[in-house]
Amino acid sequence: MPRTIEDQTTGELGGHGSVLARQRRDHAEMDRLMERYRTLADGEERERVLKQTVQLVFSHAFAEETVLWPAVRRSVGDGEALTTRVEEEHQEINDLVADIERLSPGDPEREEKVQRVFALIRQDIRDEEDLVLPRLQEAMDPEQLRRLGTAWEAVRKSAPTHPHPVVPRRPPGNAVLGVPLGIYDRARDVLGLDVPAAALKRIFTGLTGVLLSGAVLAIVRRRR
């Protein structure tokens, strides 16, 4: 049975830049933030920690779904089943956080959903570190894991940081549709921007149309 990446050294994972080491660092930070949230009383600091947790979880999951899980499906015999399981967990987290963002702090229903999300995140971490990532480790050499880590990090830095029901779980749809939403989310996170839903839909539709047109044009040019 493959060995969990939780207990391996950074060297065994392929080095600091390996996608396995990068994943584990993010998971450890998620755990730290969730524990920090648990110890705080209601208030601004607790809400800030929850926001940080959400931002990290969604950018991390988007990079997994765009870069990492396609590599698992290509390289691992039962990669389809393994990635389907974690994608279902991601979708459940997405739906719960969307509900949380619509509810007010102090609402008992909101806190119950937060705890459910945290439980799902912890389950997702275990599924990835104990089941999925060890199988990828068996299939790839350290240099391949480092190259994958570089691509994963590049996507994570520009990924959406909040739930969006319109974003599919798999490429190419998530890669194309995630770009305008990533821009919007990060502007909102940094500047406190609050764009009404109707305006966001217009922005999203316009930017997506431009991106899709560019992708079609590139394909046509390559075929000439």
Q: Domain boundary residue among 114, 140, 159?
A: 159
Please answer whether residues 22 and 149 qualify as being in contact, where contact means their C-beta atoms are separated by less than 8 angstroms. Answer: yes
Same domain for 87 and 166 = no
Say if residue 205 is in the same domain as residue 216: yes
DSSP conformational letter for 167? S
- Asked whether residue 49 carries a pLDDT value surpassing 90, the answer given is yes
Cα 158 to Cα 179: distance, rounded to the nearest angstrom: 7
What Cα–Cα distance (Å) separates residue 114 from each residue in 52, 128, 156, 223?
13, 21, 23, 49
**Tens of pLDDT along 181-208?**
888 788 888 876 554 444 554 555 555 5
How far apart (Å, rounded) are the C-alpha atoms in residues 153 and 164?
21
Mean pLDDT, residues 30-43: 96
Instruction: Give the pLDDT mean for 112-135.
Output: 98
pLDDT, residue 167, reads 74
Do 14 and 69 have their domain in common? yes
Structural domain including 8 reads 1-159
In terms of domains, do 151 and 167 share one?
A: no
123/207 same-domain check: no
Note whether 105 and 202 are same-domain residues. no
Q: What is the CA radius of gyration of the chain?
A: 18
Using 50, 70 and 90 to split pLDDT, how confident is the model at 164? confident
Give the end of a domain, one of 122, 144, 159: 159
Residue 86 confidence (pLDDT):
96
Q: What is the pLDDT of residues 9-33, one digit of tens each?
A: 999 999 999 999 999 999 999 999 9
* pLDDT of res. 149: 98
The verdict on 52 and 17 lying in the same domain is: yes
Give percent above pLDDT 70 in the chain.
Answer: 84
DSSP 8-state secondary structure symbol assigned to residue 11: T
Q: What share of the chain is helix, strand, coil (3-state, %, to 5)?
A: 75, 0, 25
> Region 113-123: what's the mean pLDDT?
98
Q: What digits encode the pLDDT tens for the residues 62-75?
A: 999 999 999 999 99
**Number of structural domains in the chain:** 2
pLDDT at 224: 52
Say whether both 96 and 207 belong to one domain: no
Q: What is the mean pLDDT of residues 120-137?
A: 98
Contact 18, 142 (CB under 8 A): yes
**Interval 133-142 mean pLDDT:** 98
